[in-house]
Structure 1
Amino acid sequence: MKHYHISRHSSFYTIGLSYKKADATTRGQFSLDIPAIDRLLLAAKGEGIDGLMVISTCNRTELHGFAQHPFQLIKLLCEHTQGTVEAFQEVAYVYKNHEAITHLFRVGTGLDSQILGDFEIISQIKQSFYRSKKHEMANPFLERLCNSVIQASKRIKNETEISSGATSVAFASVQYILNHVPDVPNKEILLFGTGKIGRNTCENLIKHTDNKHITLINRTRQKAEEVAGKFHLVVKEYGDLQTEIRKTDVLVVATGAQLPTVSKELIYTDRPLLILDLSVPKNVSDDVKELPNVSLVHLDELSQVTTKALERRKQYIPKAEAIIDEVQNDFTKWLETRKFAPIIKALKKKLKTMKEEELSFHSKKLEDFNTEQAEIVSERIIQKITKQFANHLKKKEVDTEDSLQLIQEVFQLQINADE
C-alpha cells in the first residue's frame, strides 16, 4: 500500500486568503465556482500533485494539498482565477504540515469563521472533499483528515454552546418577531427593501416562522420580484406602501435610503403594529413611537443581541480548542503509525535476528548458558530500543525523514514495499 506521508519531497500545504486580510473585492478576484474548481483539480492532477482539496466561499478561498513547494499551489490558484500572484502575496497565508492541519481544524470547527461558531463551512469542506474524490485527488491522508475535522465539528456542536444565540441581524430580527408577536404563522408581514439584509431576513422568516403571508415592496419592483420568485411571495408596487402598512401586523424596513422612508404620516392602523428598522442610517422616523398601537425596534437594539450572543460564544472557545486538540492528537497518532510503522517493524525484525544469532552463538559456546533468561532480557532490550526510536520520531522538532533515513542506513534495513 502506498504511503501518503509528509516528506521533504512532498509536504502538506494550505495556501489561501480570507476575510481577515482580504477585502470583498480581492476575495472576489480569487473566488472559484464549481467548473473552475474542476479545472484546477484536473490541472493539478496533470502536474502530478497527489492529493488536493479546494474550498471557495464568500469569506475565503483555500487550497489544501501536497506539493514540493507552496508556489505550485499558488500558481494553480492564480491561473484559474482573476487574481495575480502579487495580489495574493499581499493578503495570503501559507501553512505547512502541522500548521496546515491545525488551520483546517480551526476552519472546519467555526473558530476561524467571520461569525464565531458558524458551522456552515463544514458542509463546504465535505463537498470539496467529494469533488476531489470524484477527480481521484483525495488520498487516504485527506480522507482521514476531513473525517477528523468533521468529528471535531460534531463534538463541538454537541458538547459546547459555541453556535447558540442569534449572531446575524437578520436572524436576530426574526427571533425578536417570534418572541414578541403571538401566532406569527398567521400574521401579515410586510418587508420593505430587498437589499442584502432584506433578502437574509426574508430567508430567515420563511425558514423559522412558517408564515405564508409575506409581502415584498421595493423601490425597484424588479429586485423585489427576483427575491419573491425564489420564495413564491407576493410583490406590491412602491405606491401601495401606505395601503399595505395598514393591512400588516409586522413591518420590516431594510431600505438603503439616506433619509427616513417611513414616518408617522404614513401609518394608519387600528391594530398592533411592530416595526423593525434594519436600515443604516435609520429609515423609520422616531415619531412613529407616538402612535398608540405601534412599537419600533431599531437595528442597534438587535445588534446588541447579536453582540451579546457572540460574547457568550467566546466563553466556549477553550472547550472547543480542547476538543480539537484531542481529535487532532488522534489524527497525528494515526499519521505517525503510517509513517513510522514500516521502519520500526523492520528495525524490530533486524534486532530479533541479531538477538537470535547471539543466543545461538552463546548457547553453543557456554555449557551453563540460560537461554530462557537471555531471551527475556534481550526481548526487553529490543522493546526499549524500538520505543526510544519511536519516541524520538514523534518529536515535532525532529526532521522525521532524515531520522528515518539514518535508522534505515545504520541498521541496513530492508523495507517491504507492501508494509
Structure 2
Amino acid sequence: MKAYNISKHSSFYVVGLSYKKADVHTRGIFSLNEESRTNLLRQAKSSGIDGILVTSTCNRTELFGFAQHPFQLIQLLCGNTQGTVEEFQKVGYVYKNYEAINHMFRVGTGLDSQILGDFEIISQIKQGFYASREEDMTNHFLERLCNSVIQASKRIKNETELSSGATSVAFASVQYILSKVPNISEKNILLFGTGKIGRNTCENLVKHTDNDHIVLINRTRDKAEKVAGKFNLLVKEYGELQEEIRKADVLVVATGAQHPTVSGDLIHTSKPLLVLDLSIPRNVDDNVGNLENVTLVHLDQLSKMTDDTLKRREKYIPKAEAIISEVEGDFKKWLETRKFAPTIKALKKKLKSIQEAEIDNQRKKIKDFNDEHAEILSDRIIQKITTHFANHLRESPNSSDESIELIKKVFQLETSK
C-alpha cells in the first residue's frame, strides 16, 4: 500500500495558476481543451506519474498529481499549452501534500473562486476525475479526495448561504445586462457560440428577461440546435452572423476558440450594442471596444462585481471553513490509516503466527488443553495490541514514520507495498 502523502519517492502536488496573479491573456495561453488534456494524461502515464487530475476553467488551470518533483507536472502543463516555464514561474503556484489537499478543498467549495461561493468548479473537478479514470490515471487517494471535496461542497450548500444569490459568472453577466439595458424583454439578444458559461448565461437570460426571441449562432449548427432546443432559442446560420450582430442590442460571445472570433470588421451598428466576451482566451478582439456605440465587457470585469449579494456571503466564510476543516480532518485520518495499514496488517499476521505456535506448544504440554478457549483469549489480546498500535500511529501523525520503522524492526516485519 503506497504512503500517498509522505512517500520517499513521490509527493502529492498541485501546480497551477489562477485569476489571483495571472491576467486573462496568461490564463488563456495556459488553458487546456479536451484534446490537450487527454494528451497530457497520456504523457503523464507514460512518464510513470501515479495518479493525476486536471482542471481548466476560465479562472484557473491546475494539475493535481503525484510526482518526484513538481517540475514534472509543470513541464506537462507547459508542453500541452502555449505557456512557457518562464511565464509559469512568474504567476504560477505549487502546493505540496497537505497544502495541496487543502487547496483542492478551498477551490472545490467556492472559497477560492473569483466570485465567492461560485460552485461551478466542483463539476470541473468531477469531470477532471472522470477524464483521468478513462485513461487509468486515478487511484484510491484521488477518488477519496474528490469524494471528500464533493461532500464538503454539498454540506456548505445545504448548511450555509455561501451560494445564495448570484452563484456564477453566468448569473453575474445577466445581472450586468439587466442593469445596463432597459426593457430587455423587447431587445434583440444574440448568443454566438455554445461554450459552457455562454450556455449558462443563456439559460439565466431566458429565466430572468422574459425574452422569447434570443438568437443563437454557432459554427456547428447541430450543437446550436441542441442548445436551442433546450432553451427555446432561434437558430441562425453562421453566414448570417454579421447581419444578426447589426440587429442586436446585446451580443454574448462564448465560442471557446483559442483566437478572437469577433473583430471590429464584423460590427456595423448605428445603435448602442453591449458585447459580453465570456471566453478564455478572449474571443472578442480588443479593437471592438474602440467602436462607436459599442460597450465591450470581458468576464474578468463581471467577476469583479462586488454587489450586496457577495458582501452578504462573506459572513458565511467561517462556517464554510469549519465544515472544510471537519471533512478534511476525516480525510487525513483515513490517509494516515492507509499509510500504516500495511504495518498493522503485518503485525497482526506476525502475532497470529506466534499464537499458533504457542497454542500448538501448550497443547503438547497441558492435559485436556482447550484449544477453543485459548484461541478466543489470544485473539482478543492480539486485537487489543494491534488497536493500541493503530491508535498510537493515528494520534501521532508527525512521528508516524519513525514509529512504523520501529515496529517493523522490533517485530521483524515485511510489509507489502
How does the TM-score come out when normalised to structure 1?
0.69
Q: Distance in 2 between matches of 1:199 and 1:353?
A: 64
Partner of 2:4: 5
Displacement of 1:308 in angstroms is 1.2
Query: 2:325 matched to 1:325?
Result: yes
Displacement of 1:335 in angstroms is 2.3
Aligned CA distance change for structure 1 residues 338 and 193 (closer, same or farther; 3 Å): closer
Amino acid at match of 1:123: S
Task: Show CA shifts across 1:221-268 (max 9, x none).
Answer: 46827958999xxx99734x4xxxxxxxxx985697679949xxxxxx
Instruction: Name the SS for the 2:412 alignment partner.
Output: coil
Partner of 1:86: 86
Partner of 1:95: 95
Instruction: Name the SS for the 1:389 alignment partner.
Output: helix
Larger mean CA deviation between 207-216 and 77-86 belongs to: 207-216
Displacement of 1:215 in angstroms is 7.9
Identify the match of residue 245 of structure 2 among 224, 248, 267.
Answer: 224
Partner of 1:189: 187
Q: Distance in 1 between matches of 2:304 and 2:334?
A: 45
Query: 2:172 matched to 1:172?
Result: no
Partner of 1:211: 211
Q: Is the 8 A contact 2:273 2:293 kept in 1?
A: no
Q: Is the 8 A contact 2:191 2:198 kept in 1?
A: yes
Q: Distance in 1 between matches of 2:303 and 2:90?
A: 32
Partner of 1:415: 415
Task: Show CA shifts across 1:124-148 (max 9, x none).
Answer: 1111111111111011211121122
Q: Distance in 1 between matches of 2:19 and 2:252?
A: 30
Displacement of 1:205 in angstroms is 1.7
Instruction: Name the SS for the 1:65 alignment partner.
Output: strand
Amino acid at match of 2:56: S
Q: Distance in 2 between matches of 1:252 and 1:152?
A: 42
Aligned length in residues: 358
Task: Show CA shifts across 1:294-349 (max 9, x none).
Answer: xxxxxx9x999852111111111111112222222222233233222221132244
Q: Distance in 2 between matches of 1:96 and 1:327?
A: 19
Instruction: Name the SS for the 2:55 alignment partner.
Output: strand
Displacement of 1:191 in angstroms is 5.4
Q: Is the 8 A contact 1:17 1:93 kept in 2?
A: yes
Amino acid at match of 1:171: V
For residues 216-365 of structure 1, the aligned pairs below 5 Å read 221=242, 224=245, 238-239=269-270, 241=271, 253=274, 261=293, 306-351=306-351
Partner of 1:404: 404
Amino acid at match of 1:67: A
Partner of 1:64: 64
Q: Is the 8 A contact 1:160 1:319 kept in 2?
A: yes
Query: 2:101 matched to 1:117?
Result: no
Q: Is the 8 A contact 1:4 1:140 kept in 2?
A: no
Q: Distance in 2 between matches of 1:57 and 1:106?
A: 16
Aligned CA distance change for structure 1 residues 142 and 191 (closer, same or farther; 3 Å): same
Amino acid at match of 1:407: I
Query: 2:108 matched to 1:77?
Result: no
Q: Distance in 1 between matches of 2:33 and 2:318?
A: 35
Displacement of 1:29 in angstroms is 2.4
Instruction: Name the SS for the 1:58 alignment partner.
Output: coil
Unaligned runs of 5+ in 2: 217-240, 256-265, 277-287
Instruction: Name the SS for the 1:62 alignment partner.
Output: strand
Amino acid at match of 1:40: L
Q: Distance in 2 between matches of 1:147 and 1:176?
A: 39
Q: Is the 8 A contact 2:253 2:275 kept in 1?
A: no
Q: Is the 8 A contact 1:8 1:401 kept in 2?
A: no
Aligned CA distance change for structure 1 residues 104 and 380 (closer, same or farther; 3 Å): same
Q: Distance in 2 between matches of 1:224 and 1:36?
A: 32
Amino acid at match of 1:346: A
Q: Distance in 2 between matches of 1:308 and 1:394?
A: 45
For residues 132-143 of structure 1, the aligned pairs below 5 Å read 132-143=132-143
Amino acid at match of 2:320: A
Displacement of 1:12 in angstroms is 1.2
Q: Is the 8 A contact 1:221 1:238 kept in 2?
A: no
Partner of 2:220: none
Unaligned runs of 5+ in 1: 242-250, 263-277, 281-299
Displacement of 1:83 in angstroms is 1.9
Q: Distance in 1 between matches of 2:338 and 2:318?
A: 30
For residues 27-42 of structure 1, the aligned pairs below 5 Å read 27-42=27-42
Displacement of 1:122 in angstroms is 1.0
Q: Distance in 2 between matches of 1:357 and 1:132?
A: 48
